[in-house]
Amino acid sequence: MRTSLQAVALWGKKAPPHSITAIMITDDQHMIVTGSQEGQLCLWNLSPELKISAKELLFGHSASVTCLARARDFSKQPYVVSAAENGEMCVWNVTNGQCVEKATLPYRHTAICYYHCSFRMTGEGWLLCCGEYQDVLIIDARTLAVVHSFTSSQSPDWVNCMCIVHSMRVQEDSLLVVSVAGELKVWDLSSSINSIQEKQDVYEKESKFLNSLNCQTIRFCTYTERLLLVVFSKCWKVYDYCDFSLLRTEVSRNGQFFAGGEVLAAHRILIWTEDGHSYIYQLLNRWAQMGAAYKTFSGLSKSIYPADGRVLKETVYPHLLCSTSVQENKSHPFVMGYMDERKEPFYKVLFSGEVSGRITLWHIPDVPVSKFDGSPREIPITTTWTLQDNFDKHHTVSQSIIDHISVFKDGAETAVVTSSEYVPSLDKLICGCEDGTIFITQALNAAKAGLLEGGSLLKDSPPLKVLKGHHQSVTSLLYPHGLSAKLDQSWIVSGDQDSCVILWDIFTGEVLHKFFLEAGPVTSLLMSPENFRLRGTPIICCVCSDHSVALLHLEEKRCLLRARKHLFPVRMIKWHPAENFLIVECTDDSVYIWEIETGTLERHETGERARIILDCCDGSQLVKPESVLAVTSETHKHRSVEQRSSSSHQRGPVPCAGLQVESSRT
């Protein structure tokens, strides 16, 4: 019989940080998805009246989210793909918040477009990706494996932005990209499907330098199939899609920088800037006399011959219709997007997400018009919302386990909790704080009081013990006996911002010893594996932010090794018991081999030799970011508290206090 589990998170009165770096509205217009600098995604309910309410936080990335996109035909499978700074990719079912596929690739994506041609392709379709690598990657939308790539025959380069052009007139699809050097390239999508499936090289059909840098957006006008909008940071341009001739250039003014744009309708465009302003223009026709040979195009109109026989070619000029109102003191940076709803009530929505975590929506009128005097009309903000608004909306939110230890008797807040450790065998929750204080409380009683008693018990039950010995923020905690029964069950180890490590007696609160590492802040405390012991006992490994590593022998109360020659951050620690070596892998893939007894650097290896050494060692221990607290409860059983790392790759939804809570059943 399988047990049902209910996940519960106690967040306290303040919403968790969610600094928005990517934002999208799903195709069914029922949900907003945001990615953040902290690595988590947030799902927000969007009502038909454009009201917003946070639903779930999804944990799956250990680095900042760079982009979001749909990953399937949304009407059949409500899937969204997210990509992070460190190459992680996740496909999410946004209906239930579950991660259905994950992968880590050596690529940093900055934009993703989903593509599927049902009558020419098998499978779930492709994710066309661009970023900090040459040209465009083609990734299988189901497996997240690299299928192929679109390759440049000339001037291969990183791609800034891209769009897929669906032409109803010719029933063909094309991929348009603009490189970091400002070169526009076009690949035939429809005719390249077989070549891609057969792993044949696919080169661009056309290319053209656009004479501008820092492209932000490229958009095709599906209403006329004639105009192409390209937005750069210092100007935006309109091209004739038939021959890529330039029809208009509009340069930024007043120190503003453009950040993106969209085609709203035939001859109507929306442009937004980095400071949160946006403008709607009507593109009016203008005729300019040209000396080139006449060429007929379908679209807006046709050129005519004046009396002198020279050609009049059409250009456009923008007339400003409307602008959007913005809140003062907006936080930067932020990201924006546009959704043209195809279902009732047929809203056109401009949306933005800020680093503060705020989402703002503007309802764009179907036919935006100027004022009677011809001046631009201002479109007001329709909705604005943050996670904190969700928390403030619900006044009966239970306190978190640590709320009562973070407040003085007079109600003033003390330093925030910066690290934590749960000791199940002793039912103790240990919290290190920003001011150097360490609190020890009874975890299950605190959880029960917070969940069932509305926090009243928490106020009446002070922390079990307060440890004072650090003079800087406590950055890491470790309970050694929980990892090795050989070590004293009364010991707790803590590290701080000043590279001081303290060995405590958890029962008496006594400082047993202080280790002064004279290094950077302690970021991780690790225990040697069971098969590695020095004189019969395990040893503690301290990783510091200055890339140094120290080994501590707790029973002898001495520092065995200070390894300071690492040029890059430490990524992994391994142990070689037979040779008494400590193996340190850094983020540049190099390996340092240290002799533990003598404290000397045995050798430094890179490349294939480094990989061979790592494969031969035991006790792989990834150095992870600081952990965070989560609370889980098991149906019909006792409640327990567990420590979860923010980068532990446990992908799935964690409901927030004041957010809609959904059950996760197994």
Rounded to the nearest angstrom, the gap between the alpha carbon of residue 107 and the centroid of all alpha carbons in its chain is 15
CB distance 566 to 592 below 8 Å: yes
pLDDT, one tens digit per residue, over 100-118 is 999 999 899 999 999 988 7
For residue 340, the model assigns a pLDDT of 74
More confident residue, 415 or 605: 605
For residue 572, the model assigns a pLDDT of 86
**pLDDT at residue 455 is higher than 90:** no
Mean pLDDT of 648-654: 39
For residue 642, the model assigns a pLDDT of 29
CB distance 174 to 152 below 8 Å: no
Confidence of residue 253 (pLDDT cuts 50, 70, 90): confident
Mean pLDDT of 421-446: 84
Rounded to the nearest angstrom, the gap between the alpha carbon of residue 76 and the centroid of all alpha carbons in its chain is 25
0.75 exceeded by pTM: no
More confident residue, 555 or 332: 555
DSSP 619-654: EEEE--PPEEEEEEEETTS-EEEEEEETTS---EEE
Distances (CA, A) of 34 to 214, 362, 401, 501: 24, 17, 28, 38
Mean pLDDT of 143-158: 91
Share of the chain above pLDDT 70, in %: 78
Mean pLDDT of 351-373: 86
Confidence of residue 167 (pLDDT cuts 50, 70, 90): confident
**pLDDT at residue 609 is higher than 60:** yes
Least confident range from 73-82, 116-125, 284-293, 346-355: namely: 284-293
CB distance 263 to 219 below 8 Å: yes
Among 347, 341, 387, 366, which Cα is nearest to 26's?
A: 341
Give the mean pLDDT of the chain: 79
Report the distance separating Cα 563 and Cα 529, nearest Å. Answer: 19
For residue 311, the model assigns a pLDDT of 42
For residue 277, the model assigns a pLDDT of 87
Mean pLDDT of 354-366: 89
pLDDT, one tens digit per residue, over 554-608 is 989 989 889 888 888 888 888 888 788 888 998 888 899 999 888 888 889 888 8
**pLDDT at residue 90 is higher than 90:** yes
pLDDT, one tens digit per residue, over 275-325 is 888 999 998 876 443 333 333 333 333 333 344 444 445 677 888 999 988
The total number of residues shown for the chain amounts to 666
Among 324, 372, 374, 377, which Cα is nearest to 352's?
A: 324
Distances (CA, A) of 38 to 17, 41, 60, 63, 415: 7, 9, 11, 7, 21
pLDDT, one tens digit per residue, over 17-56 is 899 999 999 988 889 999 999 999 999 999 988 899 999 8
For residue 641, the model assigns a pLDDT of 26
**pLDDT at residue 623 is higher than 80:** no
Confidence of residue 451 (pLDDT cuts 50, 70, 90): low
For residue 164, the model assigns a pLDDT of 92
For residue 638, the model assigns a pLDDT of 27
Report the distance separating Cα 551 and Cα 537, nearest Å. Answer: 13
For residue 336, the model assigns a pLDDT of 83
With the CA atoms of 609, 610, 614 and 615 taken in that order, what torsion angle do they form, in degrees rounded to the nearest 10? -30
Q: Can you read off the two tokens belonging to residue 342?
A: 């195809």
CB distance 601 to 593 below 8 Å: yes
List of long-range contacts for 576-580, beta carbons under 8 Å, 24+ apart: 576/616, 576/617, 576/618, 577/531, 577/532, 577/618
Q: Can you read off the two tokens belonging to residue 114?
A: 């989903």
- What backbone torsions phi and psi does residue 446 show, to the nearest 5 degrees? -65, -40
Share of the chain above pLDDT 90, in %: 36
Mean pLDDT of 649-662: 37
Query: DSSP secondary-structure letter at 415?
Result: P
Distances (CA, A) of 549 to 181, 580, 625, 661: 42, 16, 16, 42
For residue 345, the model assigns a pLDDT of 62
For residue 664, the model assigns a pLDDT of 31
